[in-house]
Amino acid sequence: MLTLKTYQQQTLDALTGFLQRCRSQPVAQAFAATLAGQERAVAYQPIFGDTPAVCLRIPTGGGKTLLAAHCIAATSRTLLDTDAPVTLWLTPSDTIRTQTLEALANVRHPYRQALAHSFGDRVQVCDLDSLQTLSPQDVGKTAIVVVATIQSFNVSNTAQRNVYAFFEELAPHFDNLPPQLTQGLEKVTAADLLSQPYLTEKDVGRVKYSVANWLHLQRPVVIVDEAHNNRTERFFQTLGRVNPSCIIELTATPVAGNNVLHHVSAQELKAEQMIKLPIVLAEHPQGWRDCVADAMRTRDQLETTAQAEPDYIRPIVLIQAAPKGNEATVEVVRQYLIDEQKIPEDQIAVATGAQKELDGIDLFDRACPVRYVITVEALKEGWDCSFAYVLASLQSVNSAKDVEQLLGRVLRMPYARSRQQEALNKAYAHIIAENFAQAASTLKDRMVQNMGFERFEAAAALLPQGSLDLQGGQGRAPNAIPDFTLQVSQAPDTQHWPEPLRQAVDIRPTSLGATVILRGDVSADTLAQAQAFVEHTVPAKERDKVRDQFDDFRALRQAMRAPAQLGATFVPIPQLCLNLDGHLETVERETLTGLGDWNLAKQPAQLAGFNITETVNTFQIDVNAARVEYRKIDTAQLHLDDAPSHVSEQDLVAWLDRELRQPDVSQPQLQAYLLRMVQHLLHDRRMTLTALVRARFQLAQAIEREIERLRQYAVAQGFQLRLPEMTVPPLEQAAPHSFRFQPGQYPARNVYRGSYQFDKHFYPVIHDLREKTPGGKEAEEFQCARLIDAHRLVKFWVRNIERQPQSSFWLPTATDYFYPDFVAELIDGRILVVEYKGEPYKTNDDSREKKLAGEQWERSSDGRCLFLFAVERDEQGRDVAKQLEAKIGV
């Protein structure tokens, strides 16, 4: 089974936390609590009443379908108290439905393996037609996934779709239904008699034996793929008919009404080696032949580069030809490749609605000769090959509406890991346009609107071709920043502009107003001055757009000047180590649990705060002071280990063992602990086995939290015991015990959008740094970052990212890893780490442990490492600037 990427696991954790909160809180409160502290927190839209309905935002290339498969188990266990859920998986088209159905049905496919990881072989995948053959005995024993298109359900008149039709084959599923369950089901009407002549007048008013009614009875988990396409009132009515227990929408581009619970950035995908970034963009004002020729040269150079890779890679050009009626049609481009560029015919494949030359071809096969794929828009879904490196769009940038779909094919990283040759970690786009600004503007808009990029991410991800020397030094001078082009409705009056600004600006009248061209190499002050003057002269309705375009240009400048983008390296940062039995070992979480004598088998079996109270129709369960409820279910529906007659203590322990596997706990230890825990609850707490079995999911969650509490206690003991012995390794031993900031490995979110331009940040974007507070004042962390950036002895710095142990620098504490706010390399090779607190730290929070860890790191480094716990004013009355000066020295 594919291991989830960090961003996928964090997305799943956010969903699980939300669903857990839904057990004890109204959905809107649970949503707000999950988003607490996030910059983009918004109010929950209760479109489906009390039914949880949330959206997971994953950019193109992020593996939404794999994540969706994992969401099924998370929802069934956390919210529904079952390990045999019914899921309705809705896709936006029949092509994607077929692909999804085949993948989920294939036991070797990662999507199916994700289901098997949670449900074993108790999985049935079907479409709407095969659902009619499902046995009632399968319901409640197996996880059932029904894959269908949204269009199959999405009608106003239910007599127009088979999913709402009467099928006698489904009759066993409706036997002996109590009246309260039939109330919400659709009944046979006179209109049904017209479409189903075997029904008679006597059937009018009967419950329909329909697929839709069957789903309504099961209260399915609903997965909605590409959810932004479906925000109509009819769609909401459609979902209401199937009576969902939970709705999980997945999309790259949510719209109003999508309750976005978690947002993944494109930088996170890049850091996890899922996509190629940046996109090297070349504009071609001379026409489509130049565009194709340069795309070919790019591909040829990449294929030569790929020879040095251990894995086989055959770069492919994806050519978006123009529709019929234009010059560069599919056939014209194909003949151009063959006749003028002398490309062998077997290296060209055409994939359009009429020609499907990719069908049955394995593009990853070494024997496959295809290096050029020509399409118009037929590849916008249902096609994927991460050997596609170069996009050549021959349609006008103003009319190429599907270019982002094709670019999405080019972005995928071969084998989902970075290549040794840096050129193979980038994507390449050749577009017909007058200049870089025109090409970048259109492509950036598509990336934001249709691919899930943030505007700043897209601006920083598009770099001009000449800056990366793809043409052997031809074109622009290396690293030359392109001019900034801005369209305005009226030409600004420059009469009163400062002379240096007028010298840097060229204003050209157009039929729609004017084009303002600003030299790309102007200073940050001149750029800010130009923005102020232009904003003052344009109509008020244009100012937001002007401001956005200036901000995008700053993002481009930041990206092109970033040290990581220019090939610089960040000095390795030594981590705290311990000498254990003569061997130096980095102090990780696992190290500390061992030092704290972590042995679950020796821990007392107790579960304070866990209580079960049975009412008439529900169970109420108290877990750590939070009360949750769930519906009462018949004992006959419980299938622990498929016990033939009744569930034993051993069955319950075996089920808990499967649910609660721990990486640092051996199975015998876990089983012994669980047996003692179950016996404690049965004999000491006087709970019944039936109650524990019915509440088994809440029980598993409570035990999991208790194990984590015991582990944390062991970690704290280990940390406090051995902190004085922790040390930074000597230089000759530091290499295997050091962290290094790697180019492209920076999973930033909520990237910096301020007007101040940082010069020394190592990466093209800056993670979660806000220039202003909600009240409009300069944020204190921003002020600290600006002081670090401006310090004469700072070479590079990084805004460190929390909860990213593979991509960020961390120090151990008694509770978890500590991710300092800023890490800087000084020009003399020393490392400066800054944790900004604002107000002086208090001994009753985790600041004390952070400070102790940082000071031990500095103390043991022989002067190579500096740690500053910065506050607004320290005990000596010094501000942050003076604290920095005192720490760094001369």
Question: CA 570, CA 552: separation in Å to the nearest integer?
Answer: 26
Instruction: Give 868's strand partners.
Output: 834
pLDDT at 157: 62
pLDDT at 468: 42
More confident of the two residues 188 and 349: 349
Question: Max Cα separation, the chain?
Answer: 96
* Residue % of the chain over a pLDDT of 70: 90
pLDDT at 402: 67
Q: What is the pLDDT of residues 144-185, one digit of tens each?
A: 999 999 888 876 666 666 788 888 888 888 888 887 788 888
Question: CA 403, CA 395: separation in Å to the nearest integer?
Answer: 9
Average pLDDT, the chain: 86
**How crowded is the C-beta side of 503, counted as CA atoms within 13 Å?**
7
pLDDT at 347: 96
Would the pLDDT of 642 be above 60? no
CATH topology of domain 6-264: Rossmann fold (3.40.50)
pLDDT at 450: 78
Which pair of structure tokens corresponds to residue 555? 């993002």
Q: What is the DSSP letter of 356?
A: B
Question: CA 457, CA 306: separation in Å to the nearest integer?
Answer: 27
Contact 821, 799 (CB under 8 A): yes
Q: What is the DSSP letter of 43?
A: -
pLDDT band at 292 (very low <50, low <70, confident <90, very high): very high
pLDDT at 230: 67
Q: What is the pLDDT of residues 255-274, one digit of tens each?
A: 877 899 999 998 899 899 89
Contact 877, 840 (CB under 8 A): no
**217 Cβ contact list (under 8 Å, min separation 6):** 173, 174, 177, 181, 185, 243
Would the pLDDT of 714 be above 50? yes
Which pair of structure tokens corresponds to residue 648? 């034993």
Would the pLDDT of 865 be above 70? yes
pLDDT at 635: 35
pLDDT at 645: 42
Give the least confident one: 179-188, 368-377, 386-395, 517-526. Answer: 179-188
pLDDT at 632: 43
pLDDT at 27: 93
- Taking Cα atoms as reference points, which of 96, 440, 449, 403 lies closest to residue 252? 449
pLDDT at 522: 87
Q: What is the pLDDT of residues 770-790, one digit of tens each?
A: 998 888 899 999 999 999 999
List the helix and strand counts (H, then E) for the chain.
26, 30
Question: CA 16, CA 4: separation in Å to the nearest integer?
Answer: 15
Question: CA 732, CA 737: separation in Å to the nearest integer?
Answer: 11
Would the pLDDT of 515 be above 70? yes
Q: Mean pLDDT over residues 464-479, rounded?
A: 52
Q: Mean pLDDT over residues 192-200, rounded?
A: 79
Domain segments of the chain as ranges: 6-264, 273-480, 487-556, 600-720, 728-888
Give the least confident one: 65-69, 170-174, 409-413, 476-480. Answer: 476-480
Would the pLDDT of 467 be above 50? no
pLDDT at 433: 85
pLDDT band at 791 (very low <50, low <70, confident <90, very high): very high
pLDDT at 628: 56
Question: CA 761, CA 568: separation in Å to the nearest integer?
Answer: 12
pLDDT at 24: 82
The answer to whether 6-264 and 273-480 have equal CATH topology is: yes
* Residue % of the chain over a pLDDT of 90: 41
pLDDT at 845: 60
Contact 453, 447 (CB under 8 A): yes
Give the least confident one: 127-136, 306-315, 625-634. Answer: 625-634
Q: Mean pLDDT over residues 26-32, rounded?
A: 93
Q: What is the pLDDT of residues 89-108, one digit of tens each?
A: 999 888 889 989 999 999 99
Handedness of CA 469, 473, 474, 479 (dihedral sign): positive
Give the least confident one: 159-168, 440-449, 653-662, 710-719. Answer: 159-168
pLDDT at 158: 62
pLDDT at 160: 61
CATH topology of domain 273-480: Rossmann fold (3.40.50)
Give the least confident one: 268-272, 424-428, 693-697. Answer: 693-697
Q: Mean pLDDT over residues 330-340, rounded?
A: 95
pLDDT band at 624 (very low <50, low <70, confident <90, very high): low
The pTM assigned to this predicted structure is: 0.84
pLDDT at 639: 47
Would the pLDDT of 644 be above 50? no
Question: Which residue shows structure tokens 């002549």?
Answer: 197
**Residue 28 one-letter amino acid:** A
Question: Which residue shows structure tokens 């279910």?
Answer: 633
pLDDT band at 483 (very low <50, low <70, confident <90, very high): confident
pLDDT at 397: 64
